[in-house]
Amino acid sequence: MSDATDTEPETRALPGDGLREGIVADLRSDLGDQLLDSHLVPQTDLWVRVGSEAWDFTGQTLRAHGFHYFCFLSAIDWMPSPFGKGEDDPEAEPTEPDTEVRQGVTGGETRFQLLARVTDIDRHVSVSIKADVPESMSMPTWIRHYAGANWHERETHEMFGITFAGHPDLRNLYLPGEFEGFPLRKDFPLLSRMVKPWPGIVDVEPMPEFDEPDQPAATPETDGGAS
């Protein structure tokens, strides 16, 4: 018999997740090769990336499969900020900026991606959907599938410059109508960051080195009150 310390510990497989695996299978059956990738964390969460041309049909398909609760819709600009990061030390030597675009979970091929999340409240399961935004910066609206997408698409249009074909009213929510630029794009210059380094590092007030002397409690004689 070999000594127990000479044997490798047994590797235990993670438990499966038939519910989320079934969701991926259903989506793949409906979307075919337009389901580009998926990432499943058993018993935790599910991400799916679809082709941009299948964005509208994906919303329709999710609704048909019981995902009636709309959580959110937004976008992300994966380009690293040319102005650096807020946590960078302003006293450090400047370094060559990182310009590589990394699209995160389930990958991607474009700088901008749409993100949406919907929930099946009967089965207590959610799925996050993402899709590359083409050079036209236009994607179909999800309003006919999820009325709640209206406000989210307006905000995404205002902040990222993505147009939603079929949306009835893409007026700005926050900014003046004549405002130029899209504030959540990484290359949008924020004046406060250009004038001085990002607050949070340089604007922290030092703590006092000693405590203030204790003040006596106020009494009617000391605060002018009548006895």
Structure tokens at 2: 């070999």
Q: Which residue has the tokens 């994906």?
A: 58
Q: Which residue has the tokens 């329709």?
A: 60
How many CA atoms lie less than 13 Å away from 87 in the CB half-sphere? 0
Q: Output the tens digit of pLDDT for each of the chain's 227 residues.
A: 445 455 555 555 556 789 999 999 999 999 999 999 999 999 999 999 999 999 999 999 999 999 999 999 999 999 887 776 666 666 777 777 777 878 889 999 999 999 999 999 999 999 999 999 999 999 999 999 999 999 999 999 999 999 999 999 999 998 888 888 888 998 887 665 555 555 544 455 566 666 555 655 555 555 554 44
Residue-range domains of the chain with CATH: 18-84+104-195 (3.30.460.80)
For position 12, what pLDDT does the model report?
Answer: 56
For position 20, what pLDDT does the model report?
Answer: 95
Q: Decide: 147 and 63 in contact? Cβ < 8 Å.
A: no
